[in-house]
Amino acid sequence: MEADDKIKAGYQAAVSLICAQGQVIWRAFATLLSANAILATLAGAILKIFPDMIYAPFMIAIGGLLICVAWFFVLRRQFSYYGYWFAWARHFEKDSFLGPEVKITSVGKTYGKGGTIEDDTDLPKLPRFKWTARVFTVESLMVLIIAVFVLIYALVLVASIKH
């Protein structure tokens, strides 16, 4: 295998791993979102329907908080790998063996941060990314959702202690 074939194979592998990591992130997020929604609902229902059962919602809230902590660290790890694979794809795009037209991830990074794309290729003219599209990244929104569940569990803890 020649050097240019190795570079092309490396680029293809990096792009494939970006796609795979994106799927891992969404599957893990959806699973933990569902689990936390069930736990938070269960804790709230027990507090409302069975107000004398203070230990059950307390234990569910502690378990939910532990899951949220693990969820946060797993999410950070998953997005770190995501960034790692993007860095490799960008590395291979710099190589002349791929040609000047292969710079999807490099240009995408600039575009996603609100930069303009130089029209030196056959790319269609894209409007600048609006500021409203850059307010939240998917990662920051996911962290915000985890924080909401932490708040819910903290409220359940306070409510179960006050009973």
For 64-79, what is each residue's pLDDT tens digit? Answer: 999 999 999 999 999 9
pLDDT in the model for residue 9: 87
Give, in order, the Cα–Cα distances in Å from 12 to each of 61, 80, 103, 109, 124: 44, 19, 13, 18, 24
pLDDT at 11: 86
DSSP 13-74: HHHHHHHHHHHHHHHHHHHHHHHHHHHHHHHHHHHHH-TT--HHHHHHHHHHHHHHHHHHHH
Provide mean pLDDT across the span 42-60: 92
Whole-prediction pTM: 0.83
Residue 2 corresponds to which tokens in the numbers above? 């020649």
Contacts of 116 (CB under 8 A, 6+ apart): 110, 128
Identify which of 113, 106, 145, 143 has the alpha carbon closest to the alpha carbon of residue 131.
113
CA angle 156, 143, 110 (to 5 degrees): 165
- Condensed to tens digits (0 to 9), the pLDDT of residues 80-129 reads 999 999 999 888 888 666 666 677 777 777 666 666 666 555 666 666 67
In this prediction, residue 132 carries a pLDDT of 79
Average pLDDT over residues 153-158: 96
